[in-house]
Structure 1
Amino acid sequence: MSKKKLGLNTICTHIGEIKDEQFKGAISPIYLSTSYQFDNVDVKRYPRYFNTPNQEHLVKKIAALEHTEDALIFASGMAAISHMFLAFLQKGDHLVVQNTLYGGATNFIREEFSKYGIEYTFTDGYDVSDFEAAIQPNTKLIHIETPSNPLLTITDIKAIASLAKSKGILSSIDNTFASPINQNPIDFGIDLVMHSATKYLGGHSDILAGAVAGSKEHIERIWNVGKNLGGSLSDFTVWMLERSMKTLTLRVKAQTKNAKKLAQFLDNHSAIAKVNYPGLKHHPQHELAKSQMHDFGAMLSFELVEGIDAMAFQNQLNLIKSSMSLAGVESTMLLPAETSHALLTQDERDAVGISNQLIRFSVGIETFRDLKNDIKQALIKIKTASCA
């Protein structure tokens, strides 16, 4: 049966599994060996070459979900994006990159690119005209993130892909926030899709991983860098990730359903100054999000009104965890200014709209009523304390 005809739950459950031919177990066996026979074999396997049995099979699942020919998995999301950049950018080349980007990626570009002689330009905005204005004669790659972290801005994927192709430039995207369940950028012409697999692909806050998906030609080029830099993933984690992805569709759909209702609740609360969620009709890119996303995702952010201490609010939460990272089955909140964007200066955060009142909300699979009540009681407590 063609993979394109399989449903998402079927792909998540069965594509990329290893058949247990010996004992007929229902799940993929795990191969922990770091040493394999090299003679009289079809594949000379070596963990650093990304071709152990568990690695080789898992990427089939990722590629099937992202509608690509191939994929690679890495030891972290930052390993994935750095390998991708270094595979297609060399001394004298130029990168055009969206200005609202994950803070770790922004920091990597600013701190490491000069060492390699790679030039870059952050766009002034996220309209296609902003990207076109940033292109230079030596531009080799355009990189976007949509929805963005943590402001949930939406970039026109098709327009950026078309612009890149018209200039003979490659395009890449960080698809972590949407997940392949809610967005498939390859269908709009993007060349390379990366994920922090720590997030939705893993989904249980217990593994660290990254992934890049694309054509066989592009993935082979990234592999050539990867085998030298050594950013491969342990096979136990690979096995954990394959196991976790079996429930990816179920988890993301449940989280997205909760996020829609919580965004509406927060949007109507007097203690909330602003809610950033593309599913809200007043979101400036709501219609664009509808045109390129299957659904609006489970990430949102909101700003508390002035006078309410953001950290104190989080300290009053009982159910929702104040925690780093995102996309686990449990709901979490954090302050981007203190975590994901802490490496940026205050001026840099102000320039991209990261206020000290901003809270990023990763919505989990808990019962909506319980999440709503937890937020309500925390706001009541912090408002009462501020009036005392």
Structure 2
Amino acid sequence: MKDQKLGINTICTHVGEIKDEQFKGAISPLYMSSSYAYEGVDVKRYPRYFNTPNQEALNKKVAMLEKCEAGLIFGSGMAAVSTTLLAFLNKGDHVVVQKTIYGGAYNFIVEEFPKFGIEFSFTQGFSEADFDSEIKDNTKVIYVETPSNPLMLITDLEMISRISKDRGLVSMIDNTFASPINQTPSDFGIDIMLHSATKYMGGHSDICAGAVAASEEHIKKIWNVGKNLGGSLSDYTVWLLERSMKTMAIRVKAQNRNAKKMAKWLESHAMVTKVYYPGLKSHPDYELAKKQMRGFSGMLSFELNSDIDANQFMQSLQLVKQSMSLAGIESTILSPTKTSHALLSADERAHQGIADGLLRFSVGIENKNDLIADFEQAFEKVAKKQLV
């Protein structure tokens, strides 16, 4: 069978699996060794070089899912992001960064890049003019994230690709919130795809990992920096991640359906001021999202009425967990001002449109009626406390 002809569930299940030649088991065997022979072998394997048997196999799955030539698995999403940016930026270089990105990536750029003599600019908006106006003679990279965290704003990938190619720049995207199930940016000409594989790829809130997919030429540059920085992943976690990714398409599609239903329900609720979900027709980027996404993600955000205590509401939830991360099969909720964007100042959060009453909701695979019932009882509790 030709790999490029395979369906998404088949890719998730079979591409990159290791055949158990000894015992004929149905799943990939796990090779835990941290030391391999160097004489008389085709590949000199070393865990920090991203080339142990399980690492190599999973790299192939990541590449196939993103429709790229090659991939690399890292110890965390930030290891993938930091290594990739440093692979293409040197002292005196400049990077244009989308206005709203993950707080950890933002913090890495503003705190670490000045130490390396790397310049950076954040766009004022998401239009072509916003990106074009920030490009300088020493610009080397454009970095975007779509949908964005936590406001689910959409960046035009065809536009980013065109600008990058016209100027000879490398385009990078954090594709975590969409996952390769909902969006493959390489279809639009984006050069490098980045993921916190902790999220939809792992999907069970028990793995910390990162991933990069790109051309073989670009991956070689990232690998060269990665082996020096040491952000590789243990083989046991690699094996667990490969297992988890087998069901990624099934999980993500179920989360897409639940999220769209919850977004519509929340939009009509009297205690909710605004819902941010690209699958809603009320979303300003709805048409663009339809153009470049196959599904609208299991992530959404919403703002409560100003007279509602966000913490009281979250603490009143019984089924939905108040938790730090996202994209697990269980639904979770958090306040970005206290978690993902806590490292930003109040002014920086305000500039990105992140209000204190904003809540990020990672929708799981539970029955939607159970989720609605949990939200209803939480709203009722908060309403009663207001009357006291």
For 1:289 and 1:198, how far apart are their aligned partners in 2? 24
Partner residue, 2:19: 19
Number of residue pairs aligned between Structure 1 and Structure 2? 388
Q: CA deviation at 1:346?
A: 0.5
Q: How does 1:175-214 map to 2 (within 5 A)?
A: 175-214=175-214
Are 1:77 and 2:77 counterparts? Answer: yes
Partner residue, 1:51: 51
Q: CA deviation at 1:386?
A: 1.1
Alignment-mate amino acid for residue 279 of structure 1: G
Are 1:232 and 2:228 counterparts? Answer: no
Partner residue, 1:351: 351
Q: Over residues 193-226 of structure 1, what are the superposed CA-to-partner deviations in whole Å (9 max), with x where a residue is unaligned?
A: 0000000000000010000100000000000001
Partner residue, 2:307: 307
TM-score (norm 1): 1.00
Q: Could you say what secondary structure the match of 1:67 adopts?
A: coil
Q: Over residues 31-87 of structure 1, what are the superposed CA-to-partner deviations in whole Å (9 max), with x where a residue is unaligned?
A: 000000000000000000000000000011111100000000100000000000000
Q: How does 1:285-324 map to 2 (within 5 A)?
A: 285-324=285-324
Q: CA deviation at 1:128?
A: 1.6
Q: Could you say what secondary structure the match of 1:198 adopts?
A: coil
Alignment-mate amino acid for residue 112 of structure 1: E
Q: Could you say what secondary structure the match of 2:83 adopts?
A: helix
Are 1:95 and 2:95 counterparts? Answer: yes
Q: Over residues 239-259 of structure 1, what are the superposed CA-to-partner deviations in whole Å (9 max), with x where a residue is unaligned?
A: 000000000000000000000
For 1:384 and 1:231, how far apart are their aligned partners in 2? 49
For 1:133 and 1:266, how far apart are their aligned partners in 2? 37
Alignment-mate amino acid for residue 28 of structure 1: S
Alignment-mate amino acid for residue 233 of structure 1: L
For 1:266 and 1:223, how far apart are their aligned partners in 2? 44
Q: Could you say what secondary structure the match of 1:134 adopts?
A: coil
Q: CA deviation at 1:349?
A: 0.4
For 2:128 and 2:315, how far apart are their aligned partners in 1? 40
For 2:76 and 2:19, how far apart are their aligned partners in 1? 27
For 1:184 and 1:125, how far apart are their aligned partners in 2? 23
Q: Over residues 163-187 of structure 1, what are the superposed CA-to-partner deviations in whole Å (9 max), with x where a residue is unaligned?
A: 1100011100000000000000001
Q: Could you say what secondary structure the match of 1:366 adopts?
A: coil
For 1:49 and 1:60, how far apart are their aligned partners in 2? 15
Q: CA deviation at 1:321?
A: 0.2
For 1:160 and 1:274, how far apart are their aligned partners in 2? 28
Alignment-mate amino acid for residue 70 of structure 2: D
Are 1:113 and 2:116 counterparts? Answer: no
Q: Could you say what secondary structure the match of 2:133 adopts?
A: helix
Q: CA deviation at 1:4?
A: 1.7
Q: Over residues 260-314 of structure 1, what are the superposed CA-to-partner deviations in whole Å (9 max), with x where a residue is unaligned?
A: 1000000000000000000000100000000000111110000000110001100
Partner residue, 1:216: 216
For 1:59 and 1:320, how far apart are their aligned partners in 2? 33
Are 1:382 and 2:382 counterparts? Answer: yes
Q: CA deviation at 1:328?
A: 0.2
For 1:302 and 1:39, how far apart are their aligned partners in 2? 58
Alignment-mate amino acid for residue 283 of structure 2: H
TM-score (norm 2): 1.00
For 1:147 and 1:306, how far apart are their aligned partners in 2? 25
Alignment-mate amino acid for residue 166 of structure 1: D
Partner residue, 2:267: 267
Q: Over residues 76-131 of structure 1, what are the superposed CA-to-partner deviations in whole Å (9 max), with x where a residue is unaligned?
A: 00000000000000000000000110000000000000000000000001112100
Alignment-mate amino acid for residue 78 of structure 2: M
Alignment-mate amino acid for residue 198 of structure 2: T
Are 1:133 and 2:133 counterparts? Answer: yes
Partner residue, 1:253: 253
For 1:260 and 1:35, how far apart are their aligned partners in 2? 48
Please list every run of 5 or more consecutive structure 1 residues that lacks an aligned counterpart in the other structure.
Answer: none
For 1:60 and 1:148, how far apart are their aligned partners in 2? 27
Partner residue, 2:28: 28
Alignment-mate amino acid for residue 34 of structure 2: T
For 1:42 and 1:103, how far apart are their aligned partners in 2? 42
For 2:298 and 2:108, how far apart are their aligned partners in 1? 26
Q: How does 1:322-333 map to 2 (within 5 A)?
A: 322-333=322-333
Q: What percentage of aligned pairs have identical amino acids?
A: 64
For 1:81 and 1:248, how far apart are their aligned partners in 2? 22
Q: Could you say what secondary structure the match of 2:343 adopts?
A: coil
Q: Could you say what secondary structure the match of 2:154 adopts?
A: coil
Q: CA deviation at 1:157?
A: 0.5
Q: Could you say what secondary structure the match of 2:121 adopts?
A: strand
CA-atom RMSD, angstroms? Answer: 0.4
> Stretches of 4+ moved more than 4 A in 1?
none
Alignment-mate amino acid for residue 178 of structure 2: A
For 2:127 and 2:256, how far apart are their aligned partners in 1? 26
Q: Over residues 303-339 of structure 1, what are the superposed CA-to-partner deviations in whole Å (9 max), with x where a residue is unaligned?
A: 0001100011000000000000100000000000000
Please list every run of 5 or more consecutive structure 2 residues that lacks an aligned counterpart in the other structure.
Answer: none
For 2:83 and 2:105, how far apart are their aligned partners in 1? 12
